[in-house]
C-alpha cells in the first residue's frame, strides 16, 4: 500500500507542495484546510476540510488514515494548529515537519515598530502620530482598531466581514494579493497613508507595501509572529521534499 502523507495547509507554500506531491504515484496525499473561507481553492490531491477536534482528534485521524508523515504548512500566525500538530503527532507517533516561509526583516530606511500584540499596536496608534492608516490585518483582528475615532482607516481584506465592525471613519477595499509595487505606491500616495498596520507574514505576495513604505518613510506597525514549537523545519518546498524522502526511505 502507498504511504499516506498529510499536509496541514491554507498557504501558498502548501498549494505548491501539494502540486509536487500529488504528481507522485508512490504516495497518497491528503491536504487539510481549516474551512474558514467558503469555496476555497482546492489543492491538488485529496482534500479534507474542517478542524480535527484538537490534538486528540488529530491523533485519531492520523491513526485511522494510517498517515506516515505530516507537514505543517499552515500560516505563520496559525499557531494553535502548530501546537496541536506537535501534540497530535507525538501521541500518534508520526513524524512532523514545519514548512514556514521566513519572516520579513527590516532593512535600512525602514521605520518599523515591532509589536507583540494587537493591543500594543492600538497603544502605539493612540500615541497620536497616525492620521491615515492602511490596516492590512485579518477579519478577526479588526475589532481591536474600531474604537480609534481620531484615525481614518483604509481597511484591506480578502472578504467583507459580516457583520461589518463599526469604524467611525473608514473605507473598505476588498482585494487578494499578490500586490504589485506600482499599485502599492499609488495606493499609499493617492490615499495619503502615513502608517501601515500589518503582521509579519513574510513571503512575496504582500511584501510590496513594505518597499513602498520604505521609499516614502512611512511608519509600519508590524505584529511579530507568535511563538511556535521547536521542531524539524524547512524554509522551502525543496527542503521539505528532502525531509520527506528521508522519512519514506
Ligand atoms: N492566521 C492567519 O493570519 C492566516 C492567514 C492565511 C491563511 N491562514 C490559514 O487559515 C487557517 C486557519 O488559521 P487560524 O489562524 O484560524 O488557525 P489556528 O488559530 O492556528 O487554528 C485554530 C483551529 O483551526 C483548525 N485548523 C487550523 N488550520 C487547520 C488546517 N489546516 N486543517 C484543519 N484544521 C485546521 C484547528 O481546529 P481543531 O483544533 O478542531 O483541529 C485549530 O485548532 C490555517 O489553515 C491557516 O494556514 C491563516
Three cell numbers written together for 184? 502599492
- Protein residue with least CA distance to atom 11, ligand 1: 34
Nearest atom, ligand 1, residue 8 CA:
31
Which pLDDT does position 39 carry in this prediction? Answer: 83
Backbone angles phi, psi at 73, to 5 degrees: -120, 30
State if residue 53 touches ligand 1 by the CB under 6 angstroms criterion: yes
Same domain, 219 and 236: no
State if residue 79 touches ligand 1 by the CB under 6 angstroms criterion: yes
- Protein residue with least CA distance to atom 6, ligand 1: 75
- The whole-angstrom separation of Cα 17 and Cα 88 is 22
- Protein residue with least CA distance to atom 12, ligand 1: 34
Give the chain's length. Answer: 249
pLDDT bin (cut points 50, 70, 90) of residue 36 is: confident
Same domain, 206 and 128: yes
Backbone angles phi, psi at 48, to 5 degrees: -125, 150
Strand order in the sheet with 96-99: 46-49, 28-33, 4-8, 67-72, 96-99, 233-234
- The whole-angstrom separation of Cα 132 and Cα 213 is 13
Question: What letters, b where the CB count within 10 A reaches 16 and e where it falls short, cover 122-133?
Answer: bebbeeeebeeb
Same domain, 169 and 187: yes
- The whole-angstrom separation of Cα 49 and Cα 33 is 5
**What number of other Cβ atoms are within 10 A of residue 195's Cβ?**
22
Show the domain range for 202: 111-223
| Crossing angle (nearest 10°) for helices 237-248 and 12-22 | 50
Which pLDDT does position 244 carry in this prediction? Answer: 97
How many angstroms separate the alpha carbon of residue 82 from the centre of ligand 1? 9
H or E element, residue 99: strand 96-99
Residues of the chain with pLDDT > 70, as a percent, come to: 100
How many angstroms separate the alpha carbon of residue 67 from the centre of ligand 1? 20
Mean pLDDT of 66-70: 98
State if residue 89 touches ligand 1 by the CB under 6 angstroms criterion: no
pLDDT bin (cut points 50, 70, 90) of residue 55 is: very high
User: Residues 6 or more apart from 162 whose CB is under 8 A from it?
Assistant: none
- Protein residue with least CA distance to atom 16, ligand 1: 78
Same domain, 93 and 171: no
Tell me: the pLDDT tens digits for 95-136? 999 999 999 999 999 999 999 999 999 999 999 889 999 999
Same domain, 116 and 218: yes
Which pLDDT does position 37 carry in this prediction? Answer: 81
Whether residue 178 is preceded by a cis peptide bond, meaning omega within 30 degrees of 0, is yes
Cβ atoms of residues 129 and 150 within 8 Å:
no
- Protein residue with least CA distance to atom 10, ligand 1: 10
pLDDT exceeds cutoff 90 at 1: no
- The whole-angstrom separation of Cα 33 and Cα 31 is 7
Mean pLDDT of 168-190: 96
How many angstroms separate the alpha carbon of residue 211 from the centre of ligand 1? 29
Output 200 or 38, whichever has higher pLDDT.
200
Same domain, 144 and 51: no
Cβ atoms of residues 18 and 31 within 8 Å:
yes
Here the CATH number for the domain that contains residue 8 is 3.40.50.720
Closest CA to 82 of 67, 99, 69: 99
Which pLDDT does position 63 carry in this prediction? Answer: 98
- The whole-angstrom separation of Cα 32 and Cα 186 is 37
Three cell numbers written together for 164? 461589518
Same domain, 70 and 126: no
Same domain, 115 and 86: no
pLDDT bin (cut points 50, 70, 90) of residue 45 is: very high
pLDDT bin (cut points 50, 70, 90) of residue 249 is: confident
Q: How many CA atoms lie within 13 A of 31 on its CB side?
A: 26
Same domain, 98 and 122: no
Number of domains in the chain: 2
Amino acid at each position: 500500500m502507498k504511504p499516506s502523507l498529510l499536509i496541514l495547509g491554507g498557504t501558498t507554500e502548501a498549494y505548491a507542495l501539494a502540486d509536487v506531491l500529488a504528481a507522485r504515484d508512490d504516495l497518497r496525499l491528503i491536504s487539510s484546510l481549516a474551512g474558514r473561507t467558503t469555496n476555497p481553492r482546492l489543492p491538488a490531491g485529496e482534500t479534507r476540510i474542517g478542524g480535527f477536534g484538537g490534538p486528540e482528534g488529530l491523533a485519531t485521524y492520523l491513526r485511522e488514515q494510517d498517515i506516515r508523515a505530516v507537514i505543517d504548512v499552515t500560516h505563520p500566525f496559525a499557531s494553535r494548529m502548530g501546537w496541536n500538530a506537535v501534540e497530535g503527532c507525538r501521541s500518534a507517533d508520526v513524524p512532523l515537519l514545519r514548512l514556514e516561509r521566513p519572516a520579513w526583516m527590516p532593512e535600512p530606511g525602514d521605520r518599523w515598530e515591532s509589536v507583540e500584540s494587537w493591543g500594543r499596536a492600538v497603544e502605539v496608534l493612540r500615541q497620536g502620530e497616525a492620521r491615515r492608516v492602511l490596516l492590512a490585518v485579518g477579519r478577526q483582528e479588526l475589532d481591536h482598531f474600531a474604537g480609534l475615532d481620531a484615525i481614518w482607516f483604509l481597511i484591506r481584506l480578502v472578504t467583507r466581514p459580516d457583520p461589518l465592525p463599526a469604524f467611525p471613519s473608514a473605507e473598505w477595499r476588498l482585494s487578494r494579493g499578490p500586490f504589485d509595487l506600482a499599485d502599492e505606491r499609488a495606493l499609499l500616495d493617492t490615499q495619503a497613508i502615513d502608517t501601515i498596520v500589518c503582521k509579519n507574514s513574510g513571503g512575496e505576495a504582500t511584501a510590496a507595501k513594505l518597499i513602498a513604505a520604505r521609499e516614502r518613510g512611512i511608519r509600519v506597525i508590524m505584529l511579530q509572529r507568535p511563538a511556535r514549537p521547536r521542531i524539524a523545519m524547512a524554509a522551502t518546498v525543496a527542503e521539505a521534499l528532502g525531509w520527506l524522502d528521508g522519512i519514506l526511505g
